[in-house]
Amino acid sequence: MIEYAARRLAGLLGVWFLAIVITFVAVQFVPGDPIMALLSDRSGDADLEARLRADYGLDRPLPVQFLDYLAHIADGTFGLSFRFANTTVFDVISGGLLISPILAITAILIAVPLGVVLGVFAAQRANSWADTAVILGLVSGISIPNFAMAAFLVYLLSIKWSVLPVAGWGTPQHLVMPVLILVIPPTAYVARLTRTYMLEVLQQDFVRTARAKGLRERLVIYRHALKNTFVPLLTTVGIIFGGLLSGTFVVETIFNIPGLGRLAIESIFARDYPVTMTIVLLFTMFYSIINLIVDLAYTALDPRIRLTNTKA
């Protein structure tokens, strides 16, 4: 198990390095010269141009620039912003650094338990009207993109009934709508999976045995059957988290939330590529850490996987 964890950790570092390479290479493909964009109306000023190129390290050969990039990631400044003069990328992103992860983590903490409860509810009533209604809701929840959902919810909750603020950040009320919109798709996804897994588990012999010995249905469901759906559910947490991180880009844009997702999009329009790439890199690193934790968790939980992974 420890050997497996060590191997996965080494793999994680490899993925980070490749992600760094990809973001570096991506910036090289961006059309146009960032220094000329910075100079704009003073584009004839050769001295200034040379100084700016030196400041950004763009006068050096590419391999050296890559080492600079690595060094700036290592020291936590992430280089200089193209949009704000004499400002490191870290200073640009530090204000909203935690907002997107907090939104994503809050959403997943609500979505998973809620989805499991809904899924069990539907599975217990398989093929009834309640089940069909839940399934219909789940398909809509999975299908309708978050910004389309936002249009309906903002219209109803903020404009028609004025129970929640339209946009903004700072009070608990401002948190409700963005989290609600982030929560719906993963809840529906988890509920649908839980329903499928539960229906499978409920047909197995040990469930019949539990029922036959007169155990109350609630205990059969929650103590015996549900436990067996946890490992397959756990394996999907990584995918859900990736969706939530992407979702913060949309939700922060809609509700004017000063997080990294909105900043990344703003920086694309401002051609501030160091900021965009840093945010993409940070989100990818965060995503890979979550995936690693998930993999280690279900390896530890399921003896079958644990044994094969350790042997392999």
Partner 1 sequence: MAAPSTSQTARPGSDFFLRFRRSRNAMIGSVIVAFVVLMALFGPLLTPHDPVKVNVLASWRAPDSTHWMGTDALGRDVFSRIVLGGRVSLIVSMSVLAVTLTIGTVLGMCAAYFGGWVDALVMRTVDIIFAFPELIFAILVAAVLGPGTLTVIIALSMVWWPGIARLTRSLVLGLRHEMFIEAAIVSGTPAHKIMRRHFLPNIVAPLIVRASIGVGFIIMAEATLSFLGIGIQEPEPTWGAMIRDGLSQLRTDPHLALFASLALGITMIGFNLLGDGLRDVLDPKVRN
Question: Which positions lie near partner 1, rule CB under 8 A?
Answer: 15, 18-19, 22-23, 26-27, 29-31, 139-140, 142-145, 147-152, 154-155, 159, 166, 241-243, 245-246, 249-250, 253-254, 264-265, 268-269, 273, 276-277, 280, 283-284, 287-288
Q: Which of 140/310 has CB closer to partner 1?
A: 140
CB of 41 to partner 1, least distance (A): 23
Closer CB to partner 1, 60 or 271, in the complex: 271
Would you say 218 or 269 has its CB closer to partner 1? Answer: 269
Contact 170, 99 (CB under 8 A): no
CA dihedral 152, 155, 156, 159 (to 10 degrees): 170
Question: For 119-123, which contacts have Cβ atoms below 8 Å and span 24 or more sequence positions?
Answer: 119/190, 119/191, 119/192, 119/193, 119/194, 119/195, 119/197, 119/198, 120/194, 120/195, 120/198, 120/221, 120/222, 120/226, 122/191, 122/195, 123/194, 123/195, 123/198, 123/199, 123/202
Q: How many CB atoms lie within 10 A of CB 13?
A: 10
Tally of CA atoms within 13 A in the half-sphere of 202 that contains its CB? 18
Cα separation of 272 and 4, whole Å?
40
Give least dist CB 308 to partner 1, A: 17
Least distance (Å) from partner 1 to the CB of residue 302?
20
Nearest distance from C-beta of residue 311 to partner 1, angstroms: 20
Q: Would you say 119 or 224 has its CB closer to partner 1?
A: 119
CA distances from 248 to 104, 186, 296 (A): 7, 13, 26
104 dihedral zone (left: phi>0; alpha: psi -120 to 50; beta): alpha
Decide: helix, strand or coil at residue 80.
Answer: strand
In the complex with partner 1, which residue's Cβ is closer, 118 or 154? 154
Query: Least distance to partner 1 from the beta carbon of 131, Å?
Result: 12
- Choice between 220 and 278, CB closer to partner 1: 278
Residue 142 C-beta: closest distance to partner 1, Å: 6
Nearer to partner 1, 143 or 209 (CB): 143
- Helix boundaries (H) for 161-204: 172-201
Q: How many CB atoms lie within 10 A of CB 69?
A: 20
Would you say 260 and 207 are in contact if contact means Cβ atoms under 8 Å apart?
no
CA dist 141 and 257 (Å) reads 23
Least Cα distance to 235 among 285, 193, 204, 200 occurs for 193
The CB-of-112 to partner 1 minimum distance in angstroms stands at 18
Instruction: Name the residue nearer to partner 1 (CB basis): 64 or 136.
Output: 136
Minimum CB–partner distance for residue 19 and partner 1 (Å)? 6
